[in-house]
Amino acid sequence: MKKHNFSAGPCILPQEVMQQTAAAVLDYDNGLSLIEISHRSKAFVDIMENARALVLEHLQLEGKGYKVLFLQGGASTQFLMVALNLLEKRAGYLNTGTWSKKAIKEAQIFDDIYEVASSENANYNYIPKGYDIPKEYDYFHCTSNNTIFGTQMKDFPECDIPFVCDMSSDIFSRQLDFTKFDLIYAGAQKNMGPAGTTLVIVKEDILGQVSRHIPSMMDYKVHISKSSMFNTPPVFAVYTSMLTLEWLKKLGGIASIEKINEKKARLMYSEIDLNPLFKGFATKEDRSFMNATFTLVNEDLKETFDTMWKDAGINGLNGHRSVGGYRASMYNALPLDSVKVLVEVMSELERKA
């Protein structure tokens, strides 16, 4: 049976990428597997250079002073790394969910971290608006999409200081003016590739402004100087991410995938709103196009609904314990047909109830 993968991460990947990666694991370079070639070899240096170039091309950042890194440690390491590299006196954070709260916690080892606004009072079901970002802060940090709570920033504030954004779960999914951001980071496993690498895009001129000593492994400038190869890079994850970026380019880039993502989201939220058996969690104006969160109005139907969607070949639909209910993650590679299958199951439940 065909599986419809709504998992929040690791993400669904394009089938052609899976096939190419599988073949490369067996033989990539004249009888050598992808995962046994030297990271210093021309074969892998070409992979790394192509992956970095594709990132800048997709985000329209070529020639604008940005450097691309493929690092390790996930977005969780970036929570600390951002502060180590950018924080001199104080910084402001927007608290919109679990991951932004964790980013604040890690950065607070330096004490001078302040929440400019928070939606914790409503269990993060909305994005705060109308807040001020003090100009004396060293940087402002936000999370563009919240996988657990199903909210997404549709607009970004004007910012006169370095602007840092965690885009782990919606990178490459929609058109934005990416020059608004001075540093973007994203764990690959939500929308770009397998777990194991973290994408960092940083405007080089914001670095080198802090007075502290930064450990080499945590210093963006060190990684830039070594072309993301200060230590052995995650070869498999970088290669698969490169293939996903090539797939996106053949599809027509971010402009094309954004239209597909909008169709998936409209179909999903239309069913949530029109079907009286379901209720959306996130405030409508802040709903994520990547992660739709919803619950059953009548929990007595849970066993029946769970059986129905599992029988339909749907995977990864259970919501996070912080919200409960269900979460349909609709990343770039999820086909529209998979959303149609889920919507039909929800409609069938209404007909049966």
157/115 Cα distance (integer angstroms)? 15
User: Among residues 292, 297, 293, which one has the least CA distance to residue 275?
Assistant: 297
Residues annotated as catalytic are 99, 166, 190
CA distances from 108 to 72, 114, 115, 152, 182 (A): 22, 9, 11, 24, 21
C-alpha angle 25/30/36, rounded to 5°? Answer: 40
Which is it for strands 113-118 and 291-296: parallel, antiparallel or unpaired? unpaired
Q: Is the dihedral of CA 333, 339, 342, 346 positive or negative?
A: positive
The 10 Å Cβ neighbour count of residue 274 is 11
By the 10 Å C-beta count (0-12 exposed, 13-18 middle, 19+ buried), 293 is classed as: buried
Tokens of 117: 């606004």
Both tokens of 21, joined, read 């990666």
